[in-house]
A and B are shown apart, each in its own frame.
Chain A
Amino acid sequence: DTVLTQSPALAVSPGERVSISCRASEGVNSYMHWYQQKPGQQPKLLIYKASNLASGVPARFSGSGSGTDFTLTIDPVEADDTATYFCQQSWNDPYTFGAGTKLELK
């Protein structure tokens, strides 16, 4: 299976820029997607196919990367962005998810 590696946690101050990384154990083309999940809620799609903003998602969120290295950027970070962020690939079977990066605000 394709293993997706994310850093476990990050802490930033409101107004700053934060980048969350996701590294795949093998190439996933551009089929990397990003989700935000808050406690008690379902995941919400933020970015699809590496760099495309999902409908209704603020332009503060952006994605980049291809192949094996991908980044989700939030600029500027707001207090409401406190959540866990997951990457997910759908190029290789089975689809897999990263372990999530917990974003905390200082």
Chain B
Amino acid sequence: EVQLQESGPGLVKPSQSLSLTCSVTGYSITSNYWGWIRKFPGNKMEWMGYISYSGSTSYNPSLKSRISITRDTSKNQFFLQLNSVTTEDTATYYCARSELRRAPFDYWGQGVMVTVSS
């Protein structure tokens, strides 16, 4: 079965970069689409972007200047980097899989809470 697990610091200072790792077991990230979604306090959810089986990426335009999603196929991991964070980036961050482009997210990680605060 596909399992995803997010990891990374739970506290980031404003203006710094947020870096998270999603470790995938049970399935190769050289197949399908692997995305990041975040949930803000108050329940709003935002799709941030994905990296595809080929390594191509797609980002939410609202983040396009600050976001980067990369991967390490040898470790079956993919990564999120969000630059120049503010308190408005405080959220629970999830990694998830889509079987195809435009498919739903059928497997999710447990999520990691990240607080941006000085």
Considering only CB atoms, which chain A residue lies closest to B62 in the complex?
A: A94
A68 interfacial contact with B, CB 8 Å? no
A32 and B5 alpha carbons, distance in the complex (Å): 26
Q: DSSP majority for the A interface?
A: loop
Count of B interface residues, CB-CB < 8 Å = 21
Tell me if B31 counts as interface (CB < 8 A to partner A).
no
A92 vs B35: C-alpha distance when bound (angstroms): 16
A19-50 residues at the B interface, CB under 8 angstroms: 31, 33, 35, 41-45, 48-49
Q: Mark A82-103, 1 if CB is under 8 A from B, else 0.
A: 0010101011011111011000
CB <8 Å contact, B43 and A93: no
Taking the complex as formed, is B105 at the interface, i.e. its CB lies under 8 A from any CB of chain A? yes
Report B's interface with A, CB cutoff 8 A.
37, 43-47, 58, 60-62, 94, 98, 102-106, 108-111
A binding-site residues for B, Cβ under 8 Å: 1, 31, 33, 35, 41-45, 48-49, 54, 84, 86, 88, 90-91, 93-97, 99-100
